[in-house]
Structure 1
């Protein structure tokens, strides 16, 4: 039973502690629903629990609790009561977790369920050892090696990542002042999503998306589907071993946080070298606030880098400013995008 303590006229209770301590319950309910493709099943019509049970081939025990938990969490809507009650998607799950929608972003949640969820169970060991707790812990390949070995899984991953970044890319393409700039290159551009959005919203810009050869066919399909092939080109290479294509603006979306401080500085210097005077280097990340007290998601993402990589971590604007000025950049600005994400803009 929860109790309240009154101290100096402030009512204190443990509700937030309990909610956070058991947050994995609600997380697993949502991730399981995504894994079942429940929101796609409900895309065309509402269904009873019996119909959902049959379609998903579930046992039946706990089905109403599972569905009503999703109702209480605002991910499903329910009309009626008892066995005749019908369940339907909420507006947000129909938009973002229904595979029939182009805005589907459930792929990243499926990956969270299938991979990341179990790794977080070993966070304590990661903090004690400083070592990844993913597949490499047992002699397997890391996430990128496994993905790049399978084109279908790679494409699903790239679409998932593109989906969760789309809002940030659109915001940057609209908010950044492109006046006086004519060329752009996205380093580690994956499916070409940032280049595509810049081409759509800033048609005067000629863009290049640069990534490993395995990604090129996926990026080219996305570019063709968005009808911007006349303004976006795909160039293949390794951003550590190959020089960056020269451009007026160079961007990296969720790239720097994958790497150690030494590697971060190498990539920042390579960007500096590829830019003209007055050029801009832009990183889009879940930038941690300088006081390291507000952007919880950015801090949690940095812990995820501990579990997934040998040296990766997220960082503050002040951190990046120091590295950028060390490389020779004159000024760094910050631009808030969506949610916990921001763009850090270093000018040469």
Structure 2
């Protein structure tokens, strides 16, 4: 690690080593709904924020908290210390105001409520190869989530939040002109189906997931007023065949599982598609040199924490798996940030 002068520097080491400090500052602000409050009030002093959020710490620590968020670029500040007033930065106002449909804080809420503690056991995961979440108490992650309506809703909104920008980008960048039907496997809150339907009026979409998810998905569909072209359907991809469609999609599904289950899911997608049909997976696809997409690599480690055997993959991996099943050709489309769509044609 070198600085711009070419001399060794500890800067990057300390930045990464203390990275959880910065994470917890942002996650705490999301938990307190600070950005939602500022979106409503437009501008507030530190004392007004302290009073509204019922902080009992010293004024100096409130200043530290708000000024750190300003330093990171999440807040804007006019004035200094006692005379300062704070407001949301544009990105924060759009994506972290809970009252806006563009809110992506669901993922941050889950990071704070679940994953922050679990990631403290990464060393144990690497040493044992075992999940470090609810499974340590002998519970299955997905069974536990699906039996608790509140936790399931938090999980679904987290997954939706992290993928919303990707779904919009896919809808805008991919050629859907020849498709009349799409089924999103593990469709969660139906956002992928909704974004495709919103941008392509000729397509009928189905969000396919376990029965417990349908009420959440239907609520989202109603919000977008697209009930005529987006439906929910219930199924279990371990037990059931996929519904037939011109396009089969999966957003953050394949990476949950080991290679054997990945191949099983790809096979089911292949079987549900007509000749010329298309399979699309949206994930943090790792770059071929495995030295650029840090998010994809960290998400793969998150699968160690969550499932023990799931992992993220490169486009070359996807190409190998899909062609082994029988798909004729593949391509990759970069979406937002570190995410991509990998596509296989039957």
Q: Which residue of 1 aligns with 2:248?
A: 250
Shift of 1:69: 1.1
Q: Which residue of 2 aligns with 1:162?
A: 160
The CA distance in 2 between the partners of 1:219 and 1:10, in whole Å, is 53
Q: What do the CA deviations read for 1:131-190 (whole angstroms, capped 9, x no partner)?
A: 111121133442x33322222332233233222211111111121112322111110001
SS at the partner of 1:44? helix
Q: What do the CA deviations read for 1:295-331 (whole angstroms, capped 9, x no partner)?
A: 1100000000000103210000101111111111111
The CA distance in 1 between the partners of 2:297 and 2:246, in whole Å, is 31
Structure 1 gaps, min length 5: none
Q: Which residue of 2 aligns with 1:123?
A: 122
Q: Which residue of 1 aligns with 2:47?
A: 50
Q: Which residue of 2 aligns with 1:112?
A: 111
Structure 2 gaps, min length 5: none
Shift of 1:89: 1.4
Output the TM-score relative to the length of structure 1. 0.94
Shift of 1:5: 9.1
Shift of 1:286: 0.5
Q: Which residue of 2 aligns with 1:73?
A: 72
Shift of 1:27: 0.9
The CA distance in 2 between the partners of 1:79 and 1:220, in whole Å, is 43
The CA distance in 2 between the partners of 1:298 and 1:12, in whole Å, is 27
Q: Which residue of 1 aligns with 2:10?
A: 14
Q: Are 1:241 and 2:250 an aligned pair?
A: no
Cα 1:323–1:141, aligned 2, differ >3 Å: closer, same or farther?
A: closer
Q: What do the CA deviations read for 1:176-220 (whole angstroms, capped 9, x no partner)?
A: 112322111110001111111111111111111100011111111
Q: Which residue of 2 aligns with 1:100?
A: 99
Q: Which residue of 2 aligns with 1:188?
A: 186
Matches within 5 A, 1:266-285: 266-285=264-283
Cα 1:179–1:88, aligned 2, differ >3 Å: closer, same or farther?
A: closer
Q: Are 1:28 and 2:27 an aligned pair?
A: no
Q: What do the CA deviations read for 1:219-245 (whole angstroms, capped 9, x no partner)?
A: 112222212211122110101101100
The CA distance in 1 between the partners of 2:189 and 2:246, in whole Å, is 21
Q: What do the CA deviations read for 1:238-261 (whole angstroms, capped 9, x no partner)?
A: 011011000111000000001111
Conservation of the 8 A alpha-carbon contact between 2:164 and 2:191: yes
SS at the partner of 2:289? coil
The CA distance in 2 between the partners of 1:66 and 1:156, in whole Å, is 26
The CA distance in 2 between the partners of 1:174 and 1:54, in whole Å, is 44
From 37, 43, 66, the counterpart of 1:41: 37
